[in-house]
Amino acid sequence: MIELGIVHSVNANSAGGVPKPPVGRALLLTGGVEGDKQRDLKYHGGPARAVCLFSLEKIAALRAEGHPIGVGTTGENLTIEGLDWDSLEGGQEYSIGDAVIELQKPAPPCSVIADSFCEGDSARIDESRHTGWSRWYASVSVEGEVEVGDTITRI
């Protein structure tokens, strides 16, 4: 297997919502990330949305555009460095640390993350408007611990 990227940050919020501060490591479970809660379970969490991922490079590019975004401010559980974000597709499986995840779909933005964007425009990372800029939801195929520095490989 070829290393495709690394885990830059593992983020969780035990009180729920955003931002999700760095926690260093977490157990990825089929029902979600241990120690992380979502306030609105109609749109967040559950097996098909167990883990939210975002690209460190996309965060840096958005900051360069002037957005006040940072790691964990858009609710991602894993901030990934080095993965070719434009090549992601639903159904792809990745090994990260002891876990295996399967990409499900781009994560639509919501008003809760508006503070990460100029003029509250969270649609800047809406896949239907800006292809390749979205966060991704993933399910957990194999539960396991993930920590900062873990490599990511495609299965």
- Domains of the chain, start order: 3-154 (2.40.33.20)
Strand order in the sheet with 144-147: 32-33, 25-29, 144-147
Query: What are the tens digits of pLDDT across the range 31-85?
Result: 999 999 876 655 556 788 999 999 999 999 999 999 999 999 999 999 999 999 9
Q: Across the chain, where does the E strand assignment appear?
A: 3-10, 25-29, 32-33, 51-55, 78-81, 93-96, 99-107, 135-142, 144-147, 151-154
Query: What are the tens digits of pLDDT across the range 97-137?
Result: 999 999 999 999 989 999 999 999 999 999 999 999 999 99
pLDDT of res. 17: 85
Q: What is the pTM of this model?
A: 0.95
